[in-house]
Amino acid sequence: AWAGIEAAPPDPIFGVTSAFRADKDSKKVLLGVGAYRDDAGKPWVLPCVRKAEEMIQSKQYNHEYAVQSGVAEFAKLAAELAFGKDACILQHGLNLTVQSLSGTGALRLAGDFISKFYTHSKVIYVPTPTWAVHNVLFKISGLDLKHYTYYDPKTIGLDFCGMCESIRNMPERAIILFHARAHNPTGIDPSMEQWEEISNLCKERKLFVLFDMAYQGFASGDLDSDAGAVRKFVDDGQQVALCQSFSKNMGLYGERIGACTLIAQSKEEQAKLKSQMNFLIRHMYSNPPLYGARVAMHVMGDPELRCQWLEDIKTMSARIKTARQQLVDGLKKAGSQKDWAHILNQIGMFSFTGLTKEQVLKMTKEHHVYLTMNGRISVASLGSNNVEYVANAMHAVTK
Ligand code: PLP
Ligand code: TYF
């Protein structure tokens, strides 16, 4: 049956993990896939999550099916987390928020839904560069993928003029994807003033805006400020779609918990969106798993756990900031004359170091440090045990 089949291309991010595993050298360091580690390099279960798990145990839940849209209380809390409890769209019941198989699953639901029901355009614009999954997923959903200017390699910063120019040249009503906060892979975001201009431009071009929000709270340590761009667009009256992930901000990676939101113009339209989304889900995976939704629901909904969570996200974002500083200090100490300020200015899990492909290859071959080919490192994987070694390696390949 499969005689003509060819192998699929490897995932450029998870592929790094495979190469790392095959390396026998004891000095090896993995800075590929974005997953938070404590200072000793160990995965970290958030204390708020541990407490939620105890709560779930004591409640003796059953294992009946969820409905297609998942755990309703989870979806309600997720929407409030993103848009703010008092958001008009929530007050008026205009949002359709469903539980999804984490952020990736939310993107796929949004992609499939838009592809099927958004009649004005089939073209989705994503930033250059963007998360590798974006570059493939939307095509599988049946959309045409195009890119807009985002990153300026000369400044290792945002090319805001280029970005605005790209948006001005988009056909009316096209679809555009934004990273809500902590752009992956660059760690570079527009400022709130720039978001305001971007929102106005999107309105002018009547674009349909899809937000991918995988780092709310994880980025700055503040849940509301990380949702600033999304809320700005919604305040401006834009009917955005939103994909949320709880992988990073609750450390629930493998539990696959997220949410997908669409916004309707009336309650009647919301009911139709809901029935079509449920139909899509029913024929894809029927209904989502319960466990992650229960954990996230307790963390968000229980006042004590929510306080703990706010502490936990501050712990993670502060440790990442410290690791950025340690890396830059290490580079200076190693004797690097280069300006590494961008490592400090970037936000979120990653740093886009500016290392070229050749330098990345040297990092791996000569120093056993594993990172993606675009020069991205997961800062969350740096710690007291490896940061000096990594800094020395980075200096060695860039001097
Ligand atoms: N979108 C971006 C930009 C990401 O970096 C990630 C990874 O965390 C996701 C979406 C979603 O990942 P997951 O499917 O694990 O929630
Ligand atoms: O960019 C990252 O490293 C994270 C995790 O196919 C990830 O977003 C990486 C690759 C992938 C799914 C998640």
Q: What's the rounded Cα separation, in Å, for the pair 51 and 303?
A: 12
Among the bound ligands, the one closest to the CA of 102: 1
pLDDT, averaged across the chain: 97
- Rounded to an integer, the average pLDDT of 72-92 is 98
User: Distance, CA 176 to ligand 1 centroid (Å)?
Assistant: 17
Q: Tell me if domain 14-44+316-398 and domain 65-301 are identical in fold.
A: no
Asked if the model's pLDDT at residue 10 lies above 90, the reply is: no
Asked if the model's pLDDT at residue 67 lies above 90, the reply is: yes
* Positions marked active-site: 131, 212, 248
Q: Identify which of 191, 172, 277 has the alpha carbon closest to the alpha carbon of residue 232.
A: 191
Name every protein residue with a CB atom under 6 angstroms from any ligand 2 atom.
11, 13-14, 33-34, 131, 133, 184
Asked if the model's pLDDT at residue 294 lies above 90, the reply is: yes
Q: What is the pLDDT of residues 175-205, one digit of tens each?
A: 999 999 999 999 999 999 999 999 999 999 9
At 113, is the pLDDT very low, low, confident or very high (cuts 50, 70, 90)?
Answer: very high
Asked if the model's pLDDT at residue 54 lies above 90, the reply is: yes
Asked if the model's pLDDT at residue 331 lies above 90, the reply is: yes
The DSSP-derived string for 240-286 is -EEEEE-TTTS--GGG-EEEEEEE-SSHHHHHHHHHHHHHHHHTTTS
At 322, is the pLDDT very low, low, confident or very high (cuts 50, 70, 90)?
Answer: very high
Give percent of the chain with pLDDT exceeding 70: 100
At 319, is the pLDDT very low, low, confident or very high (cuts 50, 70, 90)?
Answer: very high
Name every protein residue with a CB atom under 6 angstroms from any ligand 1 atom.
34, 102-104, 131, 179, 184, 212, 214, 245, 247-248, 253, 258
Task: Determine the residue of 245, 250, 346, 350 to mutate for testing ligand 1's pocket, defined as the one with the most ligand atoms within 8 A of the Cβ atom.
Answer: 245
* Residue of the CA atom closest to atom 13 of ligand 1: 103
Note the CATH number of domain 65-301.
3.40.640.10
Q: What is the pLDDT of residues 339-363, one digit of tens each?
A: 999 999 999 999 999 999 999 999 9
Q: What single DSSP character describes residue 216?
A: T
Among the bound ligands, the one closest to the CA of 376: 2
Q: What is the pLDDT of residues 371-394, one digit of tens each?
A: 999 999 999 999 999 999 999 999
Give percent of the chain with pLDDT exceeding 90: 99
ipTM: 0.98
Name the residue ranges covered by the structural domains of the chain.
14-44+316-398, 65-301
At 43, is the pLDDT very low, low, confident or very high (cuts 50, 70, 90)?
Answer: very high
CATH superfamily of 14-44+316-398: Aspartate Aminotransferase, domain 1 (3.90.1150.10)
Q: How far is CA 265 from the centre of its chain?
A: 27
φ, ψ for residue 356 (rounded to 5)? -80, 170
Asked if the model's pLDDT at residue 148 lies above 90, the reply is: yes
Supply angle C-alpha 342, 346, 352, rounded to 5.
70
Q: What's the rounded Cα separation, in Å, for the pair 106 and 280?
A: 12
φ, ψ for residue 206 (rounded to 5)? 55, 40
- Rounded to an integer, the average pLDDT of 77-88 is 98
Q: Which residues contact 221 (CB under 8 A, 6 or more apart)?
A: 313, 314, 316, 317, 318
Task: Determine the residue of 133, 136, 186 to mutate for testing ligand 2's pocket, defined as the one with the most ligand atoms within 8 A of the Cβ atom.
Answer: 133
Q: Is 118 helix (H, G, I), strand (E, B) or coil?
A: coil
Q: What is the pLDDT of residues 235-282, one digit of tens each?
A: 999 999 999 999 999 999 999 999 999 999 999 999 999 999 999 999
